[in-house]
């Protein structure tokens, strides 16, 4: 693109618009002013200027003055920004971690190209297309550049497996890889199902409906929907999911802005789960679409919310394409729950102050004590059955659950931070996969009977020392239960799949225990909703 010609055209257009419409509006005057500035820089500035960068920086600076969620996305970043929500990419299909500067497979995508040729969890990629693929040069960008690629193209990986001295070569034909948004869906108890939703992607509603059908076929009568740390996604996906829970013609959400008329979304008659007990789990990481779903459930007294106050993102971003392929995501309206609550928390203090909100909540004690949260009466609303709820910044759950600090210690934190758990469990899975699967024919047997032994703890201790983590026995005893639980869960994930990680850890999750308690007590459940 000839940037000088473009700027001249912009200036000419702005001038023509201004002269054709008298008097000038502020928008017209500002457009002419900005175009004139760019023209002057490009034609009279003392040095050579990268005009494209000047324009991009100006757009970014302008959007920064509006709100924390309006954003500029350059042409090269558009596809990458959409990928987690579009729900697929093209590559070899593995989940990996960089362990000891080596690409280590956590698991192949079920049905993906890597699984088809025999890649297994624990495999280490030593060479990619004959080039050494280990050492300090290896980072996430390197992996994406070398393993992702167009569908139908080939890549050869040389793999070290377990204690085998010789590398194994695999030729993998890249394909379209689905990004599933449901991390786990299983029966927790006889009639209680559990679904962990990671994000509201393009096809999440279809995944959700399939998961619901499978759980209902297994006898599910009550559901725990886990939206903790779910940062949101597509509005339409959230609406389709809420629709499963509500009766016909109930308001789900509405949007409204200065230049955007009120727009409502209501439930249809197709809800497949309108009667069973429902518990939704949220926390400070639950945002946007998560808040739309939990707000509608709460306002219509359809289910019980358990956890901590959600993030508070209730601004609608509409994408606008720019001439060079870049995109501006501009905030055009606000989300409101059925009662009229505005989900968005204040951002008048600027973006930096806005993103320090979570730190402020921690300092104020909100993660530990519900009574540290104060809502003004002006933000008070009533649900369908007359329960008091509050707007003005996130969704407050019906039952508050503080952050669980019972297992926390400096030792536990450092073991996680230094990757000791991941390194140990990957090595363990590689060395003992066949033995574990032979001893435990089904995962359920492993979950009931497998124990992390003191010998294994000794090996973890040695690895911790290698990774320069100081082992403190007093801190170990404080965190022993959770250290062993984390190790067992990661072994399960490395030998089976991600869902098995959740099946192990959730047994000791205080919020899950509370959800099961509420579901198991009819009187308490209905009292909370009345």
Active-site residue set: 288, 299, 313
How distant, in Å, are the alpha carbons of 307, 333, 345, 379 from that of 393? Answer: 15, 16, 4, 10
Q: Are 167 and 158 in contact (CB under 8 A)?
A: yes
Give the three-class secondary structure for 307.
Answer: strand
Rounded Cα distance, 471 and 201, in Å = 42
How distant, in Å, are the alpha carbons of 72, 274, 377 from that of 330? Answer: 8, 35, 31
E-state strands within 113-250: 124-128, 131-132, 154-160, 168-173, 175-178, 182-189, 192-197, 222-226
Cα torsion 281, 522, 215, 198 to 10°: value is 0
Q: Which of 357, 337, 334, 338 is nearest to 347 (CA)?
A: 357
Rounded Cα distance, 318 and 434, in Å = 51
Rounded Cα distance, 118 and 92, in Å = 12
Rounded Cα distance, 157 and 236, in Å = 40
Q: Which of 342, 269, 244, 260 is nearest to 299 (CA)?
A: 342
Q: What is the DSSP string of 442-472?
A: SHHHHHHH----HHHHHHHHHHHHHTTPPP-
Expressed in angstroms, the distance from the first to the final Cα of the chain is 63
How many helices and strands (H and E) does the chain possess?
Answer: 19, 21
Q: Are 387 and 341 in contact (CB under 8 A)?
A: no
**CA quadruple 132, 135, 137, 139: dihedral positive or negative?**
positive
Rounded Cα distance, 341 and 246, in Å = 19
Task: Give the other-Cβ count within 10 Å of 46's Cβ.
Answer: 5
Give the three-class secondary structure for 430.
Answer: helix
Tell me the longest C-alpha to C-alpha distance in the chain.
Answer: 84
Q: Are 223 and 277 in contact (CB under 8 A)?
A: yes
- Tokens, residue 463: 């690895």
Rounded Cα distance, 331 and 66, in Å = 9
On the question of a cis peptide bond just before residue 23, with omega within 30 degrees of 0, the verdict is yes
Q: Are 510 and 401 in contact (CB under 8 A)?
A: yes
Give how far the C-alpha of residue 204 lies from the chain's centroid of Cα atoms, to the nearest Å: 12
């Amino acid at each position: 693109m000839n940037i000088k010609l473009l700027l001249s055209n912009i200036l000419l257009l702005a001038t023509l618009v201004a002269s054709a419409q008298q008097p000038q509006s502020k928008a017209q005057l500002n457009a002419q002013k900005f175009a004139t500035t760019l023209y002057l820089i490009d034609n009279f500035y003392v040095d050579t200027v990268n005009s494209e960068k000047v324009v991009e920086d100006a757009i970014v600076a302008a959007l920064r003055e509006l709100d924390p969620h309006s954003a500029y996305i350059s042409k090269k970043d558009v596809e990458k920004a959409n990928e987690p929500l579009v729900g697929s990419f093209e590559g070899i299909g593995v989940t990996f971690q960089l362990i000891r500067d080596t690409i280590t497979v956590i698991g192949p995508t079920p049905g993906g190209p890597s699984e088809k040729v025999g890649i297994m969890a624990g495999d280490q990629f030593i060479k990619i297309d004959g080039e050494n693929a280990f050492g300090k040069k290896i980072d996430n960008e390197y992996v994406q550049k070398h393993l992702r690629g167009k569908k139908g193209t080939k890549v050869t990986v040389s793999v070290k497996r377990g204690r085998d001295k010789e590398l194994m070569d695999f030729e993998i034909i890249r394909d379209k890889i689905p990004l599933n948004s449901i991390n786990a869906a299983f029966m927790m108890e006889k009639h209680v199902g559990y679904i962990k939703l990671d994000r509201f992607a393009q096809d999440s509603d279809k995944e959700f409906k399939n998961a619901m059908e499978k759980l209902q076929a297994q006898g599910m009568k009550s559901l725990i929907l886990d939206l903790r740390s779910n940062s949101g996604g597509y509005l339409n996906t959230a609406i389709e999911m809420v629709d499963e829970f509500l009766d016909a013609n109930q308001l789900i959400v509405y949007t409204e802005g200065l230049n955007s008329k009120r727009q409502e979304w209501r439930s249809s008659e197709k809800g497949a789960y309108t009667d069973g007990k429902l518990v939704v789990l949220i926390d400070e990481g639950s945002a946007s679409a998560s808040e739309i779903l939990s707000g509608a459930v709460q306002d219509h007294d359809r289910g019980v919310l358990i956890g901590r106050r959600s993030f508070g993102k209730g601004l609608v971003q509409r994408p606008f394409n720019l001439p060079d392929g870049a995109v501006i995501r501009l905030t055009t309206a606000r989300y409101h729950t059925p009662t009229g609550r505005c989900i968005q928390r204040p951002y008048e203090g600027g973006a930096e102050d806005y993103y320090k909100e979570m730190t402020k909540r921690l300092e104020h004690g909100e993660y530990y004590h519900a009574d540290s949260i104060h809502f003004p009466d002006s933000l008070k609303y009533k649900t369908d059955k007359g329960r008091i709820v509050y707007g003005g910044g996130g969704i407050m759950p019906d039952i508050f659950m503080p952050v669980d600090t019972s297992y926390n210690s400096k030792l536990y934190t450092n073991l996680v931070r230094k990757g000791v758990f991941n390194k140990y469990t990957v090595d363990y899975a590689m060395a003992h996969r066949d033995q574990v699967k032979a001893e435990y024919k089904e995962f359920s047997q492993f979950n009931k009977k497998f124990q992390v032994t003191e010998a294994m703890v000794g090996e973890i201790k040695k690895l911790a020392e290698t990774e320069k983590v100081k082992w403190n026995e007093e801190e170990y005893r404080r965190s022993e239960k959770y250290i062993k639980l984390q190790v067992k869960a990661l072994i399960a994930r490395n030998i089976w799949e991600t869902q098995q990680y959740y099946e192990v850890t959730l047994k000791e999750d205080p919020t899950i225990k509370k959800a099961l308690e509420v579901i198991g007590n009819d009187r308490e459940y209905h009292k909370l909703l009345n």
